[in-house]
Amino acid sequence: MPKTVVPEEKRRRRRPTRGGTVLSEGLIVETALRLLREHGSAGLTARRLGLALDCDPSTLYRYFRGMDDLTLAIGDALVGQALRDWAPTGEWRADLRAVGLRIHAVYVAHPQAALVTTNRVTGRANELAADEAVLEVLRGAGFPLPDTVRIYHAFIDQTLAFAALDAASLALPSAALRADDAMWRSTYARLPAATHPRIAEAAPLLATRMVTSAYPTALEMLLDSAAARLEALRDAPA
């Protein structure tokens, strides 16, 4: 016989843990984010999470089907943080810029979590709300449905890709990160014009720009392209 499905509300632990803490999904996700920040993805285990919450690790499975389910919840929580208090203004370009920069900033603030969540599709409430918001902004601006989906795809993937790239750099050991940043001054800036003329002329600018995220620039380029497409659609004969 199939197992009886226990309603979600009955899976929740109501009595406090040994340390007096009442567990919740939010508390578990918050603690998991802390463990990721302190120990990286290898340090996020049910055992370590149980120790941090002062509960038996098996208790966690009242809230999540497994550690992968928890990972999806972490990703969704980050999206929720990004869009907290955000509201559309009716200016499609400003709205998309705000959403993109907010999502990127939250992931960069949690680099270890970003490394394990940016490539996942959670299907959870915050992710769905963000997707709906971006699609609504584009449709409200007047983009036809095919263009809306094309721009949405590029916008979401670009935002998450840069978040993952920048998070990967921030997750490096500090010595490695400093060495990478210094490479633009110690190696690139010293290349002679006789052998590397284009690098030599660009070296001062490269040393300044390459140690920062290119996401804001890439985002503006995407918005420029979208704006040009919208203008072309409006100018096209009926």
Res 165 pLDDT > 80: yes
> At residue 168, what is the residue type?
A
Q: Are 132 and 108 in contact (CB under 8 A)?
A: no
% of the chain with per-residue pLDDT over 90:
80
What's the pLDDT tens digit per position in 110-137? Answer: 999 999 999 999 999 999 999 999 999 9
Token pair in block for residue 33: 């984010």
How far apart are alpha carbons 28 and 30 in whole angstroms? 5
199 CB burial (10 A radius; 0-12, 13-18, 19+): middle
21 φ/ψ angles, rounded to the nearest 5 degrees:
-95, 135
Residue 29 burial (CB < 10 Å; 0-12/13-18/19+)?
buried
**How much is the pTM?**
0.88
> Of all residues in the chain, what percent carry a pLDDT higher than 70?
91
At residue 156, the 3 state secondary structure works out as helix
* Distance spanning both ends of the chain, measured CA to CA: 63
pLDDT tier at 192, thresholds 50, 70, 90: very high
* Highest CATH level, class, for 1-64: mainly alpha
CATH 1.25.40.10 matches 88-235? no
When pLDDT is averaged across residues 51-78 and rounded to a whole number, the result is 94
Q: Which residue has the higher pLDDT, 58 or 98?
A: 98
Per DSSP, the three-state class of 111 is helix
The beta strand positions in 59-208, using DSSP E, are none
pLDDT, mean of residues 21-49? 92
pLDDT over threshold 70, residue 10: no
Instruction: State yes or no: pLDDT of 9 exceeds 90.
Output: no
pLDDT confidence of 1, banded at 50, 70, 90? very low
Asked if pLDDT for residue 4 goes beyond 90, the answer is no
Q: Is 110 helix (H, G, I), strand (E, B) or coil?
A: coil
What is the pLDDT at residue 195?
A: 97
Tell me, what's the pLDDT at 6?
41
54: phi > 0 → left, psi -120 to 50 → alpha, else beta; which?
A: left
DSSP secondary structure string, 173-211? -HHHHHHHHHHHHHTGGG--TTT-HHHHHHHHHHHHHTT
Q: What is the mean pLDDT of residues 64-76?
A: 95
Residue type, 13: R
Amino acid 2: pLDDT: 36
Q: What are phi and psi for residue 112, nearest 5 degrees?
A: -65, -40
Please state the domain extents for the chain. Answer: 1-64, 88-235
pLDDT for 227 equals: 98
pLDDT at 236: 83
